Amino acid sequence: MVNKETATAKTLQEKITAMREGGKILGQLLRDLKDYVQPGMTGKQINSWVRKEIVTRGAEVAYDMLDDGFPGAICISINDGLVHGAPTDEVLQEGDKVSFDLDIYYKGYFTDSAFTMIVGTKGSPAVKKMISVTESAMWEGIEQVKPGAHIGDISHAVETVLRKGHLGVIENYIGHGIGKTMHEAPEVPNYGKKGRGYKLVEGDTICIEPMSCLGKPANYTDKDDGWTVKMKDGSIGCHCEHTVLVTEDGYEVLTLPD
């Protein structure tokens, strides 16, 4: 007879194995997406490519599982779009900023990752800097992850980098736990104080996802599609994200391509 402790350890190992495999699939897909995107493409064309790639690589389209019916396989947020962008027929132009946010489902578990890029070879220096600073904030947050660390340690680290970079800090959209469901406890804000909040334990899986902007952080949901979150002042928004596992002595980023 298997005792409860052994069964729990087995379930945790199954989760970690599945999320490692799923995370690698997701990381490789997003790496290839970055190379695929070119000026002249539409969001719907990119969405079709992503949908096919998810299935071809052995995973499932996570957004199809949402009760409220997101109209796509990937979120595509252009220029003043921040997050949750519904794929459209809008044509991507040279120099546009575009953020991609993707969940996939694999062997019973979700993984989640996002990145922001400039379309083509041209782009505003301010936007390039915003992307670089936001990515740095994400990695600084990730560096805080270990057993016994508080969510506030991550949040404070992210916020500090964003504010030093003179970016607007988005507070009403945050990171989260992930696993059997797409969004789980604990919440992972992009602002906060050290030593506050949930204390991480080995085996936890969380999404760290800084969001920033070049203007004021106020935002709204577009009434036309009911999904796309845009910046109220029309400034450019930015979003990046990785799924991270808490290990025995630190962390493992699950959504890297290699």
Rounded distance between C-alpha atoms, residue 12 and residue 19, angstroms: 11
- Whether the pLDDT of residue 4 is over 80: the answer is no
Contact 169, 219 (CB under 8 A): no
* Tens of pLDDT, residues 110-119: 999 999 999 9
Rounded distance between C-alpha atoms, residue 193 and residue 91, angstroms: 41
* Among the four given CATH numbers 3.40.640.10, 3.60.150.10, 3.30.930.10, 3.90.230.10, the one describing domain 4-253: 3.90.230.10
Contact 75, 101 (CB under 8 A): yes
Residue-range domain boundaries for the chain: 4-253
Contact 256, 27 (CB under 8 A): yes
* Tens of pLDDT, residues 120-160: 988 899 999 999 999 999 999 999 999 999 999 999 999 99
- 1 vs 5, 10, 14, 31, 180, CA distance in Å? 12, 14, 19, 45, 26
* Tens of pLDDT, residues 62-118: 999 998 889 999 999 999 999 999 999 999 999 999 999 999 999 999 999 999 999
Rounded distance between C-alpha atoms, residue 7 and residue 2, angstroms: 6
